[in-house]
Structure formats: C-alpha cells, structure tokens
Amino acid sequence: MDTAILLAQNQNTDPQSVIIIVVALAIIVVIMGVLAVMANFFWLWAQSFTTGAGIGLRDLIGMWFRRVDSRMIVRSKIMAVQAGLGMNEITSQALEAHYLAGGNVSLVIRALIAARKSKIITLGFREATAIDLAGRDVLEAVQTSVYPKVIDCPPKGAARLSLDAVARDGIQLKVKARVTVRANLEQLIGGAGEETIVARVGEGIVSTIGSADDHKVVLENPDMISKSVLAKRLDSQTAFEIVSIDIADIDVGENIGARLQADRAEADMRVARAKAESRRAAAVAAEQEMMANIEESRAKLVEAEADVPHAMAAAFADGLLTVMDYYRLMNVDADTKMRSSIADVGERDKPVIQSVN
C-alpha cells in the first residue's frame, strides 16, 4: 500500500500503471475474502464429504446467506446418516426449513435416533418436526414411550399432601397414588398433559372411596381403587397412556360423619333456643297485656263502685230501695269481707315447705 501511494504521488508515474495496481490489489482482497469464506466452511464440507452427508460448499454458502447455523445442520445430518435414518425425508433443505421455522433440529434428530434404536416406536421426520413445533419435547416424549414415567398424585409441591375422600360410613381416608404413564405420540399434539391425568385420577379415587359402604373395605382391598379408576379410561384425549395406578399410601383421617352430626345437633339446638326465646318473649308480652287488661278492669270496677252510692241514693229517692233492703245488702257485704279476711289469715298461717336437695 505504501508503494502504491508513493507511486501515485510521483509525477512521473504512468496513470495506467496506477489503475492496474489498484485493480490488482482489489482482486487480491476479493480472493483473500473468498479463501477466508472457503476456509470457514472447508472443515464442515470435509466432515460432510467423508461421512456421506451430501452437503456441498454451495449448500453451506447458501446457509450462510440465509443466516442458518450450518454447523448444526451438518452435525445433525451426519448424526442421521451414521444412525441409518432414511435420507428421503431428512434432507438438508428439510433441516433448514425446520430451523427457520424455529424448531430444534438437533433434538428432532436425537429423538428419531432414539425411536429407531428402541425398535418399538414408529416415528417419522414429519411427525417429529410437527411435535417439536407444537412446543412439546419430542425427545422426552420418545423416552417416555420407551421408559414409562411415574406421576405422583397429588404431585410434589402441591398444597395438599394427599387425596382426601369420605366413605359412606363417614370416615375420611387420605390416599397417595402413583400413576405410571407412557407417552402417546399420536395424541401428543392437541392432547391434554400431566395436569389432566392427575386431576382425572384424583377424581376417580375420590369417587371410588365415596361409593364404598365401609372404609374398612377400602383398607382391606386398596386394589379396588386401581381397578375402578383404570376401568374409566381416564387417558382418553390425553398425550399419555395410563399403564398402571398404584396406591402408595392410605391412612385413616377424621370421622367426618360424626363431626357433621355434632354440627347439625348444635345447629338444631341453636334453632330450638331461638324458638324458645321467641315463645318466652311472646308469653311475656301476653302477660303484660293481661296485666294491662286487669288494671283496666280494676279501673272500671273502681269507677263502677263510685257510682253505687249515687245509684242507691237515686233508688231511695224513687222508692225502689227500702231501708231493710239496704241493711240486707250491708250484711251481705260484711259477711263477704269477713270470709275474705279469714281466707287471708289461713294463707298466712300455712307452713312453708322447702325442698332439700
């Protein structure tokens, strides 16, 4: 570069020579850039060529322009070739398309290899990519299909440590279960997850215990819970297939029936007390009303007694009452007062008998 500058600054230098030198330098820079790019992809191309992956330099350069991780694509294709997977579906274009769609190419290839090695699962590349793009862990699904997974019911870390149910005799039973499931690859897209399995199994256990006449029957035969729950086909429309349901622990809780009866008796007693208090208040009100009526009658009696002398005077004046009649009335009144006083004396002289507890 310094030589070119010096030549350009020299007035005796030919302009054509300067142009030739600049063009030559540009060509050298381009060649060096191409060599750098080729060197960047040379090792990937060498790995692909030696393993028979079938990915050329043109494909690698195209991945670079499309911003695709060529290293991941090459390694995934090599893994597929070495595992003996079908190359009709697993092409470099298919791997690029899955990568650009946001999928995990390496995870899909590993899942296909695991499915092939198991020899019990049939999983194609399209199904695997669809499961991966649906947000499921396709490798975990394959592993769960080969090696069944155990789900605790209720799950660890839940608010309740056991499933509580009450038999018909009112005794509470606390149950812990373990559900062994196998992934159902056909229902993995759109199927319900572990939460649905746990909820359905819990509902089945509570229903089975609730229909038992005696809690002792459940304690003696805990397998009746497993058989009853399995018969209900709780794994329908889920991403799992229930293999078995095992009762890990079953304990006796509270006597819910007795507690409910006690609460009901207490409530009935409160109602009876309220009704008795209402009747007592009504009786007190009636008593007060009768006392008011008595006082009113007494007032009328006093008023009537006050009118007696006037009536007697009018009777004497009209000749309707004679002196003998008057004395006869006075004798009757005196006799009545005497009998009343004798009765009062007899009541006061009665001995008071106290009960001794």
Q: What pLDDT is stored for residue 299 in this prediction?
A: 86
Residue in 44, 65, 61, 62 with CA at minimum distance from that of residue 53: 44
Give this prediction's pTM.
Answer: 0.58
**How far apart are the two ends of the chain, measured CA to CA in Å?**
131
Q: Is 163 left (phi over 0), alpha (psi -120 to 50) or beta?
A: beta
**CA dihedral (185, 187, 192, 197) positive or negative:** negative
Query: What structural domains and CATH numbers belong to the chain?
Result: 2-145 (no CATH), 148-255 (3.30.479.30)
Chain-centre distance for alpha carbon 47: 53
Q: What pLDDT is stored for residue 145 in this prediction?
A: 82
Q: In which residue are the tokens 């229930």 written?
A: 242
Q: What are phi and psi of 25, to 5 degrees?
A: -65, -40
What are the helix and strand counts (H, E) for the chain?
A: 13, 4
SS3 call for 21: helix
Q: If the chain, 357 residues long, is cut into consecutive pieces of 10 residues, what is the mean pLDDT of each piece?
A: 47 65 78 67 76 78 81 85 76 86 88 82 84 85 84 82 84 88 81 84 87 83 83 82 85 81 88 90 90 87 80 78 78 81 65 47
Residue in 228, 218, 224, 226 with CA at minimum distance from that of residue 251: 218
Which tokens sit at 66? 């499309």
Q: Which residues pair with 242 in a beta bridge?
A: 181
154, 156, 160, 165: CA torsion to nearest 10: 20
Q: What pLDDT is stored for residue 39 in this prediction?
A: 64
Q: What pLDDT is stored for residue 34 in this prediction?
A: 64
284, 285, 291, 293: CA torsion to nearest 10: -160
Cβ–Cβ < 8 Å for 153, 177: yes
Q: Which residues pair with 285 in a beta bridge?
A: none
H-run or E-run covering 150 = strand 149-153
